[in-house]
Amino acid sequence: MKIGIVGTGNIGASLARKLSAAGHEVRVANSRGADGVRQFADEIGAQAVDVRGAVEGAEVIILSIPLPAIQALPADLFDSVAADAIVVDTGNYYPDMRDPHILEIDEGMPESVWVSRQIGHPVIKAFNNVLAYTLAELGQPQGTPGRLAVAVAGDDLRSREIVMELVNQTGFDPVDAGSLAESWRQQPSTPAYCCDYDADAMRKALAAAAPGIAPRIRDRLPEVFASLGPNPTHADIVAANRATNIVAGKPAS
């Protein structure tokens, strides 16, 4: 497939590397223009482009940038994108810690619903509820016992199924998380968020999410992670997420 990736941070770069290795025609872009991403693109066998080059003619467009950067994209960027092109949002909202406040999200709008409205195109939510280390290092072949899972939410069944197959190709079991309106269940500090669960545990965690609780947990994260010390291991971070991403006082399990 022709895949354009906007953003080459930890998640975007890992996806570009893995999807290029899987045989897809990958184009990568970031805020520094084609020259700013050329060395990385050459390293992984992808094409370096600007953001317009990433979306032009792409069958799948992956937005792996913070939410404020969504607002900074050219206003007409998606005007010529095909109606059946799939846009994947991997982002997460961290007000005060990284992002300015976005009123609609603070009032309860699911993050990727907000993204869809910003760009004027349907969105699939995926790859947001997995840690960067997990995505880069812990993928396994299909059928491996205990293979870790990634949630995928969106309104179009065809698009959701295609993205679920891309999840599989990156080394994870895809879990159908339902409609985009339900994608709040995989947002930061929900039971399904960045806990390194297999598919069965992921489904239970998605079902365990309760409205309104996760933002309060998310806002306590600086003190939670400060308690882990200056150099927490991946296992430390996963354990902290599992312990704090709670519903009604009980860890999701």
Q: Kindly list the domain boundaries of the chain, sorted by start residue.
A: 66-251
CA distance 104 to 207: 24
- SS percent in the chain: helix, strand, coil, step 5: 40, 15, 40
Read off the pTM. Answer: 0.95
CB atoms within 10 A of CB 176: 15
Residue 200: which residues within 8 A CB-CB, separation 6 or more? none
Tens-place pLDDT, residues 82-129: 999 999 999 999 999 899 999 999 999 999 999 999 999 999 999 999
Q: How confident is the model at residue 207 (pLDDT cuts 50, 70, 90)?
A: very high
Tens-place pLDDT, residues 67-93: 999 999 999 999 999 999 999 999 999
Contact present, 140 and 147 (Cβ < 8 Å): yes
Q: Residue 151: phi, psi to the nearest 5? A: -85, 145
Contact present, 60 and 88 (Cβ < 8 Å): yes
Classified as helix, coil or strand, 249 is coil
Class of domain 66-251: alpha beta
Nearest to 61 by CA among 86, 41, 37: 86
Residue 54: which residues within 8 A CB-CB, separation 6 or more? 4, 5, 6, 27, 28, 29, 61
Residue 185: which residues within 8 A CB-CB, separation 6 or more? 151, 153, 177, 178, 192, 206, 207, 209
* Percent of the chain's residues with pLDDT above 70: 97
Structure tokens at 13: 């770069």
- DSSP string across 119-183: HTS--EEESSSS-HHHHHH----TT-TT-BEEEEE-S-HHHHHHHHHHHHHTTSEEEE---GGGG
The answer to whether residue 252 scores a pLDDT higher than 80 is: no
CA distance 218 to 204: 20
Tens-place pLDDT, residues 122-180: 999 999 999 999 999 999 999 999 999 999 999 999 999 999 999 999 999 999 999 99
**What amino acid occupies position 57?**
G
Q: How confident is the model at residue 251 (pLDDT cuts 50, 70, 90)?
A: very low
CA distance 34 to 19: 19
H/E element, 198: none
